[in-house]
A = this chain, B = another copy of it.
């Protein structure tokens, strides 16, 4: 005696038998197919009663097999979600994803089974694409695997990617923060404050999202006739001591950094040279969520939660209408004022 009622799940035929109707009648009642084969209220009620009595619940797998639909959306991250969730990278995205999925009545599958031993996750393993289980998937991750992305696309699998990813020969539908415009607006705000000579602090990462920042920055600088002679602007990543010396003595009055990490490094380097932010140097950062602990940088805000929501909407739009062409969407980033921008100091 283990106390567990181990009845096997009732099926439509059981319901049909109990209700004294045919299985197809049950199906019609269950799937609420209003137009097709109108069921008289009285029959309908008999079926419903039988459903209740038996505790019948439709079998998702069978439905799926027939309908090719699940109301199941996949979420594939190329790294484990939760360990990173805390540091806000995945977190806000997931918040939006969950929120929107709940609103529109979809469930979410977290594809965890695909974990390889190295901590990376692969979509295709021993030839099986688990993602097929869902009606479509949202992919995200820093270490996106391009090959898998390409294959997925070529297989005609329905997905959207959070963050821009370019793959030759495929048009990956992406939901992307509009870094280009945000970077440009940051440059504009600096110019409006009177800054003419800027420096750019570049990460050592080659990725689309950084390309976008760089493009936006470069174009704005050129368009506004500003000057940037920094190595970062030329393509050199990170900050060297030599360059910090040069910066400290040079005519630049503002720096735009690609990341908070770089900005922090800059702050330390300047401090070591007796300079402070923003009195001696204004600094803006092309990254942020608007609520970082520590210094309040002037920065852009990646609307992560909204991106998550939009990703779900974009995905579902295609799930529910597969003829719809896949499109990428650019999501505007807000700019938040911090305490690291001031007017240009007087020339030394």
Contacts and interface: CB of A to CB of B under 8 A. Distances in A.
A4 B115 contact: no
A323 to B, nearest CB: 8
Contact of A4 (B8, B99, B156): B156
Interface in A107-157: 107-113, 115, 124, 127-130, 132-133, 151, 153-156
Nearest to A93: B82
Interface string A317-329: 0000010011000
A27 interface: no
A75 to B, nearest CB: 8
A3 B80 CA distance: 31
Interface string A55-98: 11111111011000011100000001111011000010011001
B115 A6 contact: no
B61 A65 contact: yes
Copy number in the complex reads 2
B95 A82 contact: yes
A9 interface: yes
A285 B68 CA distance: 52
A208 interface: no
B112 A109 contact: no
- Give 6 closest A-B pairs by Cβ, nearest first: A2-B325, A61-B64, A102-B115, A108-B110, A60-B133, A102-B112
Interface in A145-184: 151, 153-156, 171
Given A102-B113, A107-B111, A112-B102, A3 B325 contact: yes
14 contacts: A2-B325, A3-B171, A4-B171, A6-B156, A55-B154, A56-B127, A57-B127, A60-B132, A65-B65, A82-B94, A85-B85, A102-B115, A105-B113, A107-B113
Band of interface residues on A = 35 or more
Contact of A112 (B5, B106, B155, B322): B106
Contacts of A65: 59, 61-62, 64-65
A160 to B, nearest CB: 13
Nearest to A121: B102
A35 interface: no
A255 interface: no
Contacts of A58: 128
